[in-house]
Amino acid sequence: MAYRYGNREQLELFPSSIEDYVSKDDPVRAYDALVEAMDFDELGIVLDDNKTGNPEYNPKSMLKLLIYGYSYGIRSSRKLERAVYHNVSFIWLVGGIKPDHKTISSFRKNNRPALKEVLTQCAKLCIKLDLIEGNTLFLDGTKIRANASIKNTWTKEKCEKYLKHIDKHIESILSECDYVDQEEQDQRSLVRLKEELADKEALKSAVKELMNELKDKGAKSINTTDPQCTRINSLQGSHAGYSAQIAVDEKHGLIVTSDVVSENTDSNQFAVQVGHANDVLEKKCKIACADAGYFDTEELKKIDELDIKVIVPSQRQASEKDFGPFDKERFKYDAEKDSYICPEGNALTYNRSNNYHKVKIYTIPESGVCKRCCRFGACTKSENGREINRLFDEETRLKMKYQYEEPDSQAIYKLRMQKAELPFGHIKRNLGVGAFLLRGVEGAIAEMSILASNFNIARMITIFGVETLVDRLKPDMEYSLPMLSEAMAV
């Protein structure tokens, strides 16, 4: 069988312009059009062709390079530098400029506040194109590693352990110094020991500073590489990282807002993230939906008071476990007497409050009643009898419980997984994001904004197609809603 061989010496007639290498339906044109449609004044990037001094690269080209690079999982500044030399789509996108990796890195680092606003601009363009309605929002969060090692996380206990260890080393070195001082006054071994002693003293001072910082901030731990990250727990174990948050619109599953917080749980994020999304939408959404990780009565109440329907299950509802015979739900609450009636007919009255957990505690006033009950051991094993905890705002908890169980709410909640979890799957799997590159909360938020915009652009290309999307993004063209609907139907 014959083989086909290439010939590197073969003369070729290439197109005279790089424009001819990129077809009209190449995705790179959509990224180019999107950045061109952005308002750079709102981003906070000044475009001034009359600047004095050494010329710099056009900020538009640099932003295009970052967004397009992230969309293909190319985030390293060195890989981006390589791409503008060897990848035709990158060369076309930036017009043939060749910024080095230091320039790319500096642009990303110095423009973090502007990068944070990229998703806001992208979402507003989606609203303008009638791709985001803002009626129903789905919230979700995921854990993403920071650009730091968990080994560099220090707690009070770790500091105390290191100090004891260092003190023992210092005592040992001092004893050895005394011995060497007597035996070998002018030998180099004494100089080496003194240098080692200085290193230990410096380490001890650094650990003490960490202890003071933990005390001043009231924090449980601090990472010396990225002080703003936290300890996150995931299926892969414990890591230094952040919690990424997104709010997704129901219509086409596009991301309205993204955020990054230094917390290990989502329980404090519901009201904050819905508020951010409403700010971008410039109106209140009608329904806000999230999983059980966001269930916190106080957070849900803040949104409920805005006349927004909240669909969030409790941990028990999410697990779909049935109530046991002696669970709190089996006890009947008497609002007039402010007491609970147990399955055996005994009344539990208010005893005390726990302000930390924000609950009122109810017990049976007469001692020994529970112990004499035939249900003792099944209902409670406490010698003091059964206790029932009632939230200060129990009415809100019950409202959220019954609201989630409504048929309409169940239908909406079933959409949550495909709407809210798809973007994180795309970001982590397709874009290969296992960790943030930039350190600090601001840097992580900036990266998350670009990644969320990448997802939106990919969805917009799927909905419209590249050529139609590029036309829609042209500033001099306006389209009515019927025309947009016809385009999406096609």
pLDDT in tens, the chain (490 residues): 578 777 778 777 777 788 888 999 999 999 999 999 999 989 988 887 777 777 888 999 999 999 999 999 999 999 999 999 999 999 999 998 999 999 999 999 999 999 999 999 999 999 999 999 999 999 999 999 998 888 877 676 666 675 666 655 555 655 555 544 555 555 545 455 456 656 666 666 666 665 666 666 666 767 778 888 888 887 778 888 999 999 999 999 999 999 999 998 898 999 999 999 999 999 999 999 999 999 999 999 999 999 999 999 998 888 878 888 888 888 988 888 889 999 888 888 888 999 888 899 999 888 888 888 888 888 888 888 898 999 888 899 999 999 999 999 999 999 998 899 999 999 999 999 999 999 999 999 999 999 999 999 999 999 999 999 999 998 754 444 444 444 444 4
The residue type at 144 = I
Residue found under tokens 């990448």:
454
What's the full length of the chain, in residues? 490
DSSP secondary structure string, 339-362? Answer: EEE-TTS-EEEEEEEETTTTEEEE
The DSSP 8-state label assigned to residue 210 in this structure reads H
Q: 375 with 344: CB under 8 angstroms? A: yes
The DSSP 8-state label assigned to residue 323 in this structure reads P
What's domain 136-146+230-318+400-448's architecture? Answer: 2-Layer Sandwich (3.30)
User: In the prediction, which pLDDT does 55 show?
Assistant: 80
Structure tokens at 255: 């991301």
Q: Please tell me the chain's helix, strand, coil percentages from 3-state DSSP, rounded to the nearest 5.
A: 50, 15, 35
Please compute Rg for the chain using Cα positions. 31
> 241: closest CA among 361, 138, 141, 355?
141
Q: 342 with 331: CB under 8 angstroms? A: yes
Verdict on whether the full-model pTM lies above 0.75: yes
> 28: closest CA among 58, 57, 60, 71?
71
Beta-carbon contacts of residue 245 (< 8 Å; ≥ 6 apart): 139, 140, 141, 258, 259, 260, 261, 266, 269, 273
- For the chain, domain boundaries: 18-130+455-489, 136-146+230-318+400-448, 151-223, 328-385
Q: 135 with 308: CB under 8 angstroms? A: no
User: In the prediction, which pLDDT does 65 show?
Assistant: 95
> 34: closest CA among 75, 93, 87?
93
Distances (CA, A) of 146 to 75, 194, 225, 241: 15, 37, 10, 4
Query: In the beta sheet, which residues pair with residue 154?
Result: 222
User: In the prediction, which pLDDT does 5 show?
Assistant: 73
Any long-range contacts for 279-287 (C-beta under 8 Å, 24+ apart)? 280/120, 280/123, 280/124, 280/256, 281/127, 281/132, 281/134, 281/256, 283/134, 284/308, 285/134, 285/135, 285/136, 285/137, 286/135, 286/136, 287/135, 287/136, 287/137, 287/311, 287/412
